Amino acid sequence: MTRLQILPRVLAAIAMAGAACWIGGFFWFVQVTRRPAEPPPPHVDGIVALTGGAGRVELALHLLATGQADKLLVSGIGGGTEMATLGRLAGIDTAPLAERITLGRYAGSTRGNGLETAAWAAQNRIGSLIVVTAAYHMPRALTELHQAVPDVRLFPLPVYPQAGGRAERGPGLRLEAEEYTKYLLTASGLSVWFPHREAVSAARSSAGGEG
């Protein structure tokens, strides 16, 4: 058998092995993201809520209002969203909490969340942090945050689908598969080579518009 005949078989074997590893890792990922999380400590320095899904900001505001942390960063909030609107959605009067809440408008990606959180944590001397995001997003979020704030203790508090309606079925296998692939890219360090939304926003701002 010639080398040209062997090469396709070797490549096929490598592809099959890679697919088997991906599938095995995906099953691990699904189990991890559906496992109940350990409760965070009674009090920490801060909370970061990564926007992009239902229930995240509401949970973070309730934690802040009940005294579980001193400060809250809402990372990646839309430019037109105000604190009072977030309070109405959560059923909380945010006026007494306003000085303890920061609305972060820089982040447009999970990597941006990490950078935004790092700047806020340094400014506010945050040494311990509750991380609030969707359960399926938590592994990638923690990876980015560990890289951005390696000296800050992180306590994950995932948001799970609410009972009743379509949300009870969870994010779906397709979304989980996409998130798992993104997690692999982040954990391997390859994600830094991909373009990020923050760079696009910065380019637009330098061109003369905030949009």
Q: Is residue 21 included in any domain, yes or no?
A: no
* Number of residues written out for the chain: 211
Q: Is residue 188 included in any domain, yes or no?
A: yes
Average pLDDT for residues 40-65, to the nearest whole number?
94
Q: Is residue 106 included in any domain, yes or no?
A: yes
Q: Is residue 53 included in any domain, yes or no?
A: yes
Q: Is residue 2 included in any domain, yes or no?
A: no
What's the pLDDT tens digit per position in 60-87? 999 999 999 999 999 998 777 888 888 9
- pLDDT score at 204: 37
Instruction: Return the ∠ at Cα 199 (arms to 196 and 204), rounded to 5°.
Output: 130
Q: Is residue 5 included in any domain, yes or no?
A: no
Mean pLDDT computed over every residue of the chain: 84
Q: Is residue 96 included in any domain, yes or no?
A: yes
- pLDDT score at 76: 92
Cβ–Cβ under 8 Å, residues 44 and 125: no
CATH number of domain containing 141: 3.40.50.620
Q: Is residue 122 included in any domain, yes or no?
A: yes
Domain limits at 116?
44-202
Q: φ and ψ at 123, to 5 degrees?
A: -65, -35
Q: φ and ψ at 153, to 5 degrees?
A: -75, 130
- Report the 10 Å Cβ neighbour count for 145: 24
Cβ–Cβ under 8 Å, residues 79 and 105: yes
Reduced to 3 states, what is the DSSP secondary structure of residue 39?
coil
- What is the greatest pairwise CA distance in the chain? 78
Structurally, how many domains does the chain consist of?
1
